Amino acid sequence: METKHLQIKWTVSRGRDTYGYNICTLRVDSDKVARCDGGGYDMVGTCIGAWLLATFPDRLKTILAFNGDHRRDGFYGLEFREPKTFDRHESYIDGDQMTLDGACGIGSVFKIASAIGVKLQRKSDTKNQTDYIAIID
């Protein structure tokens, strides 16, 4: 069992084309691993989803994806697609493109994390920062 410290930090952009945009940054054990900006979508889910996709691709391949047919056994936010035809698959097939859309919501991302053996626990909150502990089986 392994433990990771996840830190979500909120700042505001001062860039020319993005001035005033919210910035959400994820650090895992002090290493910057994901960042998104703007608003109107779940930015925390997006950052944590990007980390899960980059860190645990082999584990994600073992669970069912939501393929759009309203069945309830796939995980919403996870997709496997054939790269040429873009056909969705419920199960991973060699060569598929895999995406984890965290903008679907932090609840969906937490369910996916739990299914692959990553338990996320919120530890603390301040005005501009939220800390999580990830317990990895």
| Contact (Cβ atoms closer than 8 angstroms) between residue 135 and residue 119 | yes
Residue 79 has pLDDT above 90, yes or no: yes
User: Model pTM?
Assistant: 0.92
The pLDDT confidence band at residue 71, using thresholds 50, 70 and 90, is low
Provide the CB-side half-sphere exposure for 42 (13 A, CA).
18
What is the structure's pLDDT at 3?
97
121-128: Cβ within 8 A, 24+ apart: 128/9, 128/10, 128/11
Burial of 43-64, coded b for 16+ CB within 10 Å and e otherwise, reads bbbbbbbbbbbebbeebbbebb
The pLDDT confidence band at residue 72, using thresholds 50, 70 and 90, is low
Percent of the chain scoring above 70 in pLDDT = 96
The pLDDT confidence band at residue 66, using thresholds 50, 70 and 90, is confident
What is the structure's pLDDT at 54?
97
Delimit the domains of the chain by residue range.
Answer: 2-136
Distance in angstroms between the alpha carbons of the first and the last residue of the chain: 5
Instruction: Count Cβ atoms within 10 A of the Cβ of residue 67 and give its class: 0-12 exposed, 13-18 middle, 19 or more buried.
Output: middle
pLDDT 10s digits, 22-47: 999 999 999 999 999 999 999 999 99
| Contact (Cβ atoms closer than 8 angstroms) between residue 47 and residue 35 | yes
Average pLDDT over residues 59-70: 85
Mean pLDDT of all residues belonging to the chain = 94
